[in-house]
Amino acid sequence: MDYFISDSHFGHRNIIKYCNRPWSTSEEMDDGMIQCWNSVVSQDDRVFVVGDMFLCDEDAAKDIMSRLNGYKILIAGNHDSRESKMLKVGFNEYHRELAYCLGDMGNALMKHYPQPDKVTTESGYDYLIHGHLHVPPHRDGLKVNVAADLIDFTPVSRDYIIKSLVGSRSNSDSEIINLESNDEKIKLSIEIRPEDFSGTIDHIYKLLRKQWRSK
């Protein structure tokens, strides 16, 4: 069985306060999340970690990884930039982003950051499995957010992902982003749903940077 989770932040004491997690210390949090993980994941399962697994030193990360069941595949987040370190602490694979087949439903892109649905479909994918955002919505349009805080700190199964996304294509409104430019100004017009705001802003930044560089 395949499972998915992101943004566990093992070893990160301040995340308890930032996200109102139900533990008093990072040690309690780590032990609790390991129990959650192993309650569903066996040694024969695969777990896709969609970024930001740790904020702790290498020895602590190795110890945590040794206690977690399964074949562990990392899709790098903003705290996982060093591939050599991530493989050294115990990940079996390291990717910047990764495609995942959802059977008859099509293909999902797994990457840490959210993005507008239109970017996902124009990139040749049907859905996006992401993390990075520790707050709802858990499922939005063609996106499903597997951040630990939204899934009770327990990896969710492939079947769960499919059920979460059923019907999402018919309910998803495409974002409209138009850029017009001249020698002095760039005019931006945008039409999105409020829940797409965070991913869209990241996409707009990339568009604007590309536009300015072409000048």
Assess whether the previous peptide bond of 116 is cis (omega < 30° from 0).
no
Question: Are 151 and 204 in a shared domain?
Answer: no
Same domain, 101 and 10: yes
Least Cα distance to 80 among 150, 8, 24, 137 occurs for 8
The residue range of the domain holding 181 is 176-213
Is 157 found in the same domain as 81? yes
160, 181: one domain:
no
Residue 1 in tokens: 């069985």
SS3 content of the chain, % helix, strand, coil (to 5): 40, 25, 40
- Give the pair of three-digit tokens for residue 66: 């040794």
Q: Are residues 112 and 187 in the same domain?
A: no
Whole-number Å distance between alpha carbons of 183 and 160: 50
- How far, in Å, CA of 130 to CA of 144, rounded? 6
183: left (phi over 0), alpha (psi -120 to 50) or beta: alpha
Cα 101 to Cα 71, 130, 151, 197: the distances in Å are 18, 15, 21, 27
| 59 and 152 housed in the same domain | yes
Give the pLDDT confidence of 141-168 residue by residue, as tens digits: 899 999 999 999 999 999 999 998 886 6
Which of 134, 150, 168 corresponds to the end of one domain? 168
pTM (predicted TM-score) = 0.79
Kindly state whether residues 97 and 38 are assigned to the same domain.
yes
The distance of Cα 96 from the centroid of its chain, to the nearest Å, equals: 11
What are the distances in angstroms from CA 132 to CA 38, 111, 144? 23, 9, 11
Res 173: pLDDT = 47
Same domain, yes or no, for 10 and 75? yes
Question: Do 180 and 145 share a structural domain?
Answer: no
Q: What is the pLDDT of residues 38-90, one digit of tens each?
A: 999 999 999 999 999 999 999 999 999 999 999 999 999 988 878 999 999 99
Other CB atoms closer than 10 Å to residue 75's CB: what's the count?
25
**One domain for residues 195 and 154:** no
Domain count, the chain: 2
Confidence of residue 174 (pLDDT cuts 50, 70, 90): very low
- Name the strand (E) or helix (H) holding 102: none
CA–CA dist 132, 111 (Å, integer): 9
Residues 18 and 43 in one domain: yes
Statement to judge: residues 107 and 185 lie in one domain: no
CATH number at residue 93: 3.60.21.10
